[in-house]
Chains A and B, each alone.
Chain A
């Protein structure tokens, strides 16, 4: 088993690291970078608890070799806050009470951000289709879908304000 030198940019901060060849990005985030917000749920790409954004695209970090993420821009739930302000998606999850046990939520929030950055005004059907791949066992998805809709409106009005 070899080790590889990689540079990961995580939540805006650069890390030069040695990673073992068989380590997934999930393991490196949690165990080497001490960023446990990204969760292990199944390890096989089914549950989405490990979802991160790599260069703006949602990805299962449990199925990504850490070495393959060399040079890429990674964002996780804990890095979404800006200047002490929660991301509109996080704010919407709070307002809609879209959280119960919370274990799926970092992945769910990241997944929702990944949608709204590409498709700022998704239909309910598009939201539900997009949330496939992230399992929540507590909420029946109802309030999570409401939160994504509400976040979409928040982001649109923030955009208008910024332009206006």
Chain B
């Protein structure tokens, strides 16, 4: 661990990698809370995959890949909504249809783009190759995401918890939904280098779910989720650097370990304490019965 710290002091590429992955951990954690509470985990998976053709087309046109990614990301969420509202096809099926089509299209377009971009690094990330420009983009995206969540926290909370009530006093639920979809696409793009398209969904869902098991307050859940995301990024980066493993995969496995700990030991929701409470309760009933006999 000491070596790792001195390496961070010595190597700029490692500093960039660390900063970027912490930022990604935080914003994925924050947006992830809203994604899981809205029951949109699959949608998060879909949008992260669907940015692929957008990135390819951006390279062909020579523009920043952010624009293409946001465009195809939004197109996916609109397309999914359109199919499930205008046919009997259920929501999860239309998510499956739309995102796999976009992903397939992306694979072909990336190959056709014949540029320096490498499909593997988009799919799985390569955090040690983060450039300064990527780092700045992550910082800007992170700032935008955090600002929107802080400014509209109230509105996000109420439209997530009770959308009918929100609509009854005039909140534009549909607009809020698409703003969240834009943020989700931005977060995906920011995460490309760190964990890659395929594993972004884990960064969105796992830390948020861990936090969900530990608290009854949304504000606390968001802070915890961001902390778990950042912590996983640091530990994951350490292991991937020391043992030469894929950074995205290691970071995701760290989030999984945190989740499993919460799943078993969370004070109220954890299966361990639950079984303890049930046993206590049962024994309590037996002792009370014994006492009443005596």
A, B in one complex: no
The chain A residues found within 8 Å of chain B, CB to CB, are none
